[in-house]
Amino acid sequence: MDLRLEGISHRYDGNAVLEDISLDIPEGQIVSIIGPSGCGKSTLLRIAGGLERPTTGRVSMLGDPPPGCLNPLTYIFQHFALLPWRSVAGNISLVLEDHALGTAERREIIADVLARTRLADFADALPRQLSGGMKQRVAIARALAVSPAVMLMDEPLSALDSQTRELLMDDLIALWLRAPFTGIYVTHNLAEAVRLGHRIVVLSRRPGRIREIVEIDRPLHERGIADADLEEKQRHLWTLMRDEARAADMELQDG
Amino acid sequence: MADRTAGKTGEERGAKGRHYREVPFRGGGFAPRHIPYVGVAVFVVLIALLEAGARSGVISNLTMPPPSAVFVALVELAQSGLLWKHLQVSLTRLAVGAAMGAGAGIAIGILIGLFSYIRAGLLPLVAALFPIPKIALLPLFVIWFGIHEWSKFALIAFGTFTPTVVATFGAVDNVDRSLIRMGQSFGLPWLSIVRKIVLPGALPGILSGLRVSLAIAIILLVAAEMLGAEYGIGAYILEAGSLYDLERLFAGVTILSLMGLGVSWLIGRIEAMLLKWR
Ligand SMILES: Nc1ncnc2c1ncn2[C@@H]1O[C@H](COP(=O)(O)OP(=O)(O)OP(=O)(O)O)[C@@H](O)[C@H]1O
Ligand SMILES: [Mg+2]
């Protein structure tokens, strides 16, 4: 299933936040979105998943979601959004309970996604007992449980320390290599954007417009940490971003 | 710091002749800790002081009865069998009235929290009802519900209702919006979001609201029992007061305090049971 954004513009009480964003996310690809703070990345992601209505423009799904898909557009949030009163397994069960699944089937799905995120031993733990990295893996497991067609990720690693981030990035890549998913990956981190994205969309400062789309041909499994090619792309992205970021920073000081 | 030399005193001279001082600790406090028995000790010391004061004559018996005399009055009350009668009547009133008031309060509070129209309609009404001293309405309740039990239930219920409403809708408002967003993003039906996200998320706030509401219920229980009640702790206190029988008056007050402690303990148990996840 592809996702298509057409002419998305958005304003909050008169303030333009996004302007005329059109973007195709073909099945099996991950699109990274980067842009200066406040340029509307999170807003765009909320619009893409139907959590917010754009002022103009529309989002459409092309084709059928994969068989067994319970929630085509599924988010992974920056701050995990786990229910603190439910165990790890309970948090995953939450998103399955309203679907017509047998108890055995539900248990099977939970066991499967916990195994895929290496959390099988923590099924009964409460969120407060988990480290940040584990919490985000629970959130990833929860997202996998509904077999999404598109994963919408809003800075999923930015609340984690840099080592954990590295490990979780490896996890995401491994998950993608095993079963390529479609995704939008919003981040501030250029290295992450380059590591995971097939295409990288650079937004201008507010109101966010598409400034450039950078393609990265190298397959995900061939992207190492110290890769001259990728570093070149990353440098290019930074030159694109720098002026925007600086201007955005000034804007906040003026406002 | 290469020039550090070993030493026990706070200030010394290092190899290069520089002073070095240990960094003083200044990070303590501002974090409540659980300290057992201090609460009990405060009670014990206070009672001992009162007793000593009364025995030595510093405190006259007319102003304050010695705790031992109050204790004797309590024992007498228990032996006469009247204590259980009073307690049973009072606890029934408290339970029925508080259950009605808190139940309705939680229900209305949740509705106010969930529906904008109900909020717009009822919030001003609740704000208007809240500051009314409910005791002032007792005569009205007697006219409406009769002099017997129902006017007492109504007073206690009404008195617990308003604080419970306010605590409950505040608790619903404070539920983490990002969790609700998460529920919506996974396509959970409205009722599931309410049942599985909003209500559990509001529970801590509702329970701490109940602590206040139930203390108010005990206050109103006494007020209600001062009018047209034969039995009940309030009636007992009123009778003792009108006879200037300070021992029995304080015996009654002691019972009320114990009831308050009991209610607080009960809610503590419920919290420990339902809020294990915190
Ligand atoms: N609900 C809202 N109401 C009004 N203004 C909002 C709302 N949400 C976001 N905004 C404003 O819209 C702009 C874009 O916000 P958004 O969160 O989408 O930016 P972002 O690119 O995700 O920023 P960041 O990089 O800091 O996460 C910001 O200026 C923000 O203040
Ligand atoms: Mg954001």
CA dist B274 and B203 (Å) reads: 9
Residue whose C-alpha is closest to residue A232's, from A188, A181, A196, A191: A191
Q: Of A75, A97, A127, which has the smallest distance from its Cβ to B185's Cβ?
A: A75
Give the ligand 1 atom nearest the CA of A43.
18
B197 contacts A81? CB cut-off 8 A: no
Ligand nearest to the CA of A14: 1
Pocket-forming residues, ligand 1, beta carbon under 6 Å: A 12, 17, 35, 37-43, 206
Give the ligand 1 atom nearest the CA of A18.
14
CATH class given for the domain over A2-66+149-254: alpha beta
pTM of the predicted model, to two decimals?
0.86
- Within its chain, how far is the Cα of A13 from the centroid? 27
Structure confidence at residue B180 (pLDDT): 96
Question: Comparing A96-105, A155-164, B30-39, B164-173, which segment has the lowest mean pLDDT?
Answer: B30-39
Is B22 strand, coil or helix?
coil
Instruction: State in Å: Cα A77 to ligand 1 middle.
Output: 15
Q: What is the ipTM of this complex?
A: 0.92
Mean residue pLDDT of chain A comes to: 92
pLDDT digits (tens, 9 = 90+) for B179-236: 999 999 999 999 999 999 999 999 999 999 999 999 999 999 998 988 888 899 999 9
Chain A residues touching B179 at Cβ < 8 A: 81, 83
CA dist A30 and B28 (Å) reads: 48
Cβ proximity of A111 and A120 under 8 Å: yes
End-to-end CA distance of chain A: 42
Cα B276–A131–A95 angle (5° rounding)?
65
Position B7, amino acid? G
Domains delineated in chain B: 62-274 (1.10.3720.10)
Burial class for B21, CB neighbours closer than 10 Å (0-12, 13-18, 19+): exposed
Chain B residues touching A77 at Cβ < 8 A: 178, 181-182
Bridge partners of A62, per DSSP, are A2
Bridge partners of A210, per DSSP, are A203
Please determine, for residue B12, whether its predicted confidence score (pLDDT) is greater than 80: no
pLDDT band at A255 (very low <50, low <70, confident <90, very high): very low
B192 contacts A97? CB cut-off 8 A: yes
Instruction: State in Å: Cα A253 to ligand 2 middle.
Output: 19
- Sorted by where each begins, the domain ranges of chain A are 2-66+149-254, 83-148
Instruction: State in Å: Cα A198 to ligand 2 middle.
Output: 21
